[in-house]
Chains A and B, each alone.
Chain A
Amino acid sequence: MGLENKIFESLPDVLTVKLDAVVNWARKSSLWPATFGLACCAIEMMNTVSARNDLSRFGAETFRASPRQADVMIVSGRVSRKMAPVLRRIYDQMPEPKWVISMGACATSGGVFDNYAIVQGVDKVVPVDIYVPGCPPRPEMLVHAITMLQDKIMKESVKDRTDTIEAESRGSIVPGTLPVTEGTALEAETEVEVAQKNISRPYTIPSRHERRRSF
């Protein structure tokens, strides 16, 4: 009785579907992970894309060396405090839509490395979509995580993904890992205030592309 019936009468070859479903289907069927191996979990990640556990069966085998061409970041391994700003910068360089898989105990919680050098969970630096337990997780678990992420993507809406400063990035700054800002505590400002001030992300150097945009 709706529009689709009218279209079906006049154009019988046309199939109507929700826009979200089409876009999400396209997104989930071609996930391009960024190459970001940090420790021994990376060996399992490499194994996941190689012949035995062929990740291309699920459309996510195209690992990209450039974050600008990737939309999934698989944080595989322990993130040191010195690496955390680098990781955040790579995350910021990835275009929307983007997702993060925290692979292994170290990336998820610091693992056995409960010390001054290791970030106790990468979710303090970037928002994480899927956590994979294990030390290291088997390739099957990473494949499972990818398929879980695909299910998650199918539940998203196109409206969820906007190419603005992420709200969650405000609260996820690791103390002490950042280049020194003006000395004012970022936590004191709400994300709205930060957005109003239109300042760029203080802990990354804006890329040429971002500078040109100069929002």
Chain B
Amino acid sequence: MTEKLHEFVETLKSANPEWVGDVKDALGEVTVTVPREHIFAACEFLRDSLGFDMLADLCGGDRGPEEDPRFEVNYHLFSTTHHRRLRLKVLLSEDDPKVESVTPLWKTADWHERETYDLVGVVFENHPDLRRILLPSDFDGHALRKDYPLRGYEPYSMN
């Protein structure tokens, strides 16, 4: 079921072996862990050479303050020609949660990256307009981090 996807991953690996880190095949989905300095180049190659022309979703995750690397950014790519989905994953440490923006490749990444920045606190470099999108602009902290208190910090906390 995922042979075709593994072919894509092999093509990706042959283009530049450094792009592909860990490859995971679970539940009919293939996840490729990409080192963060290569994510833009890998995305560009997948888009231009392998037909993954659509960024279906981009989301961030917090594995918890005790984990290292703590943050992850997931890129859900979709190919309208091959009708296949591929997930790229970038792992980021807590001290330096920065990753290159893919907005130049897919316009839709603009708001997705803003949301990820807003809620998880991942900074996307070279993003055209990286500011909060869901929370109020004067919000303190990033609400979906595991160590964020439910009622928020002052002065948001009413209690």
Contact = CB atoms under 8 A, between A and B. Distances in A.
**Chains A and B form a bound pair:** yes
Given A176-B139, A180-B138, A115 B151 contact: yes
Q: Which of A81, A116, A124 has the most B CB atoms < 10 Å from its CB?
A: A116
A115 B136 contact: no
Contacts of A175: 154-156
A76 interface: no
Q: Contact size class for A?
A: 10 to 19
B26 interface: no
Nearest to B140: A176
Given A116-B157, A120-B158, A82 B135 contact: yes
Contacts of A177: 136
A175 B157 CA distance: 9
Contacts of B152: 115-116
A81 to B, nearest CB: 6
Interface in A109-141: 114-117, 119-120, 124
Contacts of B134: 82
Interface in A76-94: 81-82
Nearest to B141: A116
B27 interface: no
A32 to B, nearest CB: 31
B150 interface: yes
A115 B1 CA distance: 43
21 contacts: A81-B136, A82-B134, A82-B136, A114-B150, A114-B151, A115-B150, A115-B151, A116-B143, A116-B148, A116-B149, A116-B150, A116-B152, A116-B157, A117-B135, A117-B143, A175-B155, A175-B156, A176-B138, A176-B155, A176-B156, A177-B136
Q: Which 3 residue pairs across A and B have the least CB separation, nearest first?
A: A116-B152, A175-B155, A120-B158
Interface of A: 81-82, 114-117, 119-120, 124, 175-177, 180
Given A81-B156, A175-B156, 5 more contacts: A82-B136, A114-B151, A116-B143, A117-B143, A120-B159
